[in-house]
Amino acid sequence: MNDRHPPTKETLLTTDVSVAADCIRSGGLVAFPTETVYGLGANALDSDAVARVFVAKGRPANNPLIVHVADFEGVRSLSSSVPEYAESFMEAFFPGPLTLVLPRDPKVPYGTTAGLETVAVRMPDHPMALALIQQSGVFVAAPSANRSGRPSPTAWEDVYEDLNGRIDVILKGKPTKYGLESTVVDCTGEFPMILRPGGVSLEDLLLVHSQTAYSTSAALAAKSPGTAHRHYQPNAQVILVDHSRSLNLPEDAAFIGFSGGETARLRFEAVDVADYAHHLFSFFRQCEKEGIRTIYCEKVAPFGMGRALMDRLERASS
Ligand code: AMP
Ligand code: MG
């Protein structure tokens, strides 16, 4: 990672995709909406531009970036070989919240892959994101557009809060649909292996490939070293609870979950797991603004989207 200073000028806010595309093409940094969370994009094949992403976020150099493409050809161009089951996943879930880890084509710089021989690729299901990739004419490397370790941004205002003055442009869209990041699946072995649960569930993937499985923690450490860092943590203590109904919450506490926590100063009652996931990170940021010291989060059953939600809750509370 290089240690050049990020830009310190005011970040440009715009809804004009062509302005953002020009910026990416000339080596700049653009935050943009996707269906999962807001991403911080740079030309994936430009090592200098990618290095600036790490500086702007304060991201550890061993945590690789996901490269965003606008079509299937982009995936094939970035990888030296795409296994048949990965093609099946593309057919079933692209565009959408699924990232495929594939053998790297030599043109992808090690700065983007954090020194790995693999590259992570995804096609976002968002018109602004797709237009940005198409109009810039480059592949767009984009991690979540938050300062490293913080909750991911689900609205452009969250990006502004974390990165104003550190990046060139924020492409303003609506709040994101899922609110949690994509599922990351390793496609370099005989069978697909989930490295990070996300918007596409194990149950969804099993319908396409019956031998899909979660990685063991040893395999995860080898395949995805960046996942060991702290993640998703607000400036408040996060405590996970089974059932909050009988909880006596302190005065400065917040609660998010399905039921209970009535005495909390700030409270979000979700109608289902998708609604909970959709609001989690924005709730964390709202709690910060209101000076909440402790956030109680109701645990969910680890199935479907619930698995991804529990992953984020556990990391936020660790
Ligand atoms: P973020 O974009 O901030 O949500 O983080 C990207 C996620 O993708 C992290 O969990 C990375 O570890 C993972 N990732 C990106 N590239 C690779 C790769 N080549 N191999 C394994 N995991 C990857
Ligand atoms: Mg992230």
215, 249: one domain: no
Q: Which residue lies with its CA nearest to atom 2 of ligand 1? A: 143
Mutational pocket test of ligand 1: of 100, 186, 196, 233, the residue with most ligand atoms within 8 Å of the beta carbon: 196
Residue with tokens 């300062």: 147
Distance (Å) from CA 245 to ligand 2 centroid: 32
Going from the first residue of the chain to its last (318 residues), give the mean pLDDT of each consecutive group of 10, the final group possibly shorter: 54 98 98 98 98 96 96 98 98 98 98 97 98 98 96 97 97 97 97 96 97 90 80 93 76 91 92 97 96 95 95 94
144, 293: one domain: no
Domains of the chain: total: 2
Determine the residue type at 81.
S
127, 248: one domain: no
Domain boundary among 194, 221, 248: 221
* Cα–Cα distance measured from residue 122 to residue 163, given in angstroms and rounded to the nearest whole number: 23
Q: Is residue 5 part of a domain?
A: no
CATH number at residue 183: 3.90.870.10
Distance (Å) from CA 152 to ligand 2 centroid: 6
Q: Is residue 77 part of a domain?
A: yes
Q: Is residue 229 part of a domain?
A: no
- Ligand lying closest to the C-alpha of residue 97: 1
Q: pTM of the entire structure?
A: 0.95
Query: What's the token pair of residue 160?
Result: 């502004």
Q: What is the extent of the structural domain holding 273? A: 237-317
Q: Is residue 230 part of a domain?
A: no
Q: Is residue 7 part of a domain?
A: no
Distance (Å) from CA 143 to ligand 2 centroid: 6
Q: Is residue 2 part of a domain?
A: no
Q: Which atom of ligand 1 is nearest to the CA of 146?
A: 3
Q: Taking CB atoms and a 6 Å cutoff, what residues make up the pocket around ligand 1?
A: 63-64, 66, 101, 113, 116, 118-120, 143-144, 181, 184, 195-196, 223-224, 226-227
Q: Which atom of ligand 1 is nearest to the CA of 182?
A: 4
- Ligand lying closest to the C-alpha of residue 196: 1
Instruction: Tell me the backbone φ, ψ of residue 295, rounded to 5 degrees.
Output: -115, 115
Query: What's the token pair of residue 232?
Result: 């998703």
18, 142: one domain: yes
* Long-range interactions of 20-24: CB distance < 8 A, separation 24+: 20/132, 20/136, 20/169, 20/171, 21/131, 21/132, 21/135, 21/136, 21/137, 22/136, 23/168, 23/169, 24/49, 24/132, 24/136, 24/138, 24/140
188, 214: one domain: yes
CATH number at residue 289: 3.40.50.11030
Q: Say whether the peptide bond before residue 95 is cis (omega within 30 degrees of 0).
A: yes
- Residue 75 · residue 90 · CB < 8 Å: yes
Domain boundary among 189, 221, 253: 221
134, 164: one domain: yes
Distance (Å) from CA 149 to ligand 2 centroid: 8
- Residue 215 · residue 271 · CB < 8 Å: no
150, 268: one domain: no
192, 44: one domain: yes
Contacts of 68 (CB under 8 A, 6+ apart): 34, 39, 41, 44, 121, 122, 123, 124, 129, 133, 139, 140, 141, 142
What's the sign of the alpha-carbon dihedral 135, 126, 86, 107?
Answer: positive
Contacts of 42 (CB under 8 A, 6+ apart): 24, 27, 28, 29, 30, 49, 50, 52, 53, 140, 141, 142
Q: Which atom of ligand 1 is nearest to the CA of 225?
A: 12
* Cα–Cα distance measured from residue 298 to residue 243, given in angstroms and rounded to the nearest whole number: 7
Q: Which atom of ligand 1 is nearest to the CA of 196?
A: 10
pLDDT at 228: 78
Q: Is residue 4 part of a domain?
A: no
- Ligand lying closest to the C-alpha of residue 121: 1
Q: Is residue 231 part of a domain?
A: no
pLDDT at 245: 62
77, 153: one domain: yes
72, 163: one domain: yes
* Cα–Cα distance measured from residue 7 to residue 229, given in angstroms and rounded to the nearest whole number: 25
214, 133: one domain: yes
185, 276: one domain: no
> Can you say how many angstroms the Cα of residue 68 is from the centroid of all Cα atoms in its chain?
12
